[in-house]
A = this chain, B = another copy of it.
């Protein structure tokens, strides 16, 4: 593990009315690793990654990218900084095509006059690129890249969202329960994709309730509890039972936490 975290958070606080979703949460992601984030329902995992990806603004605390403080006031800013996120809700536009969804916010324009002055989109280039990315993910059972996303099954949609993140995340990719609604086969594909992305050197944050999956792919596990990081453990040194016990409050972590 290299010495300097690529993405860091210190003392994040986020309140929704009377609920404190994040209560002084810390977070560290190191280059090239897969970091799993686990925790009970409502522990604040999604709130944490929303804060990291600019989808919500924390009330307190700071976020550092490559050691420099950053302030994302919208998901777009985080994406421009190289942080791509697959949210629990997927964030796809049902009536738009697969291509349009993949490129939303980062459309390619035609070269030359049409693109520069008339801002015309380069649809063929976007189609070719989207097809390539989806094939990499083994998702080319999709016959038509111009199909509306609402005509896809839940698993296929998840695939499109993951492909989008994998294609555009240059620094960090964050996945919030990417396999929750997926079948055995489809989940496997996503896990393979995660490992593949890691092998390209891009670090990944994976939120999941599936312990076998987490222990299979994670390099480190961040255990979130009651709105804050309880500890970070090494899956090779801790058992699933330990992780579950810490996460649910059945056991207190020793000082062995990584």
Copies in the complex: 2
Specify which of B42, B43, B184, B247 is in contact with A209 (CB 8 Å cutoff). B184
For the complex, what is the distance from the CA of A244 to the CA of B211, rounded to whole Å?
19
- CB nearest neighbor in B for A179: B209
For the complex, what is the distance from the CA of A123 to the CA of B183, rounded to whole Å?
42
What bracket does the count of chain A residues touching chain B fall in?
20 to 34
Contacts of A156 in B (CB 8 A): 41-42
Contacts of A186 in B (CB 8 A): 40-41
Nearest CB in chain B: distance from A49 CB, A: 15
Q: Is A177 among interface residues, defined by CB-CB distance under 8 A?
A: yes
A153-B41, A154-B41, A155-B42 given as contacts; is B183 within 8 A of A180 (CB)? no
Q: Which 5 pairs from chain A and chain B are nearest by CB?
A: A41-B155, A42-B153, A41-B183, A40-B183, A185-B248
The chain A residues found within 8 Å of chain B, CB to CB, are 39-43, 153-156, 177, 180-187, 209-212, 244, 247-248
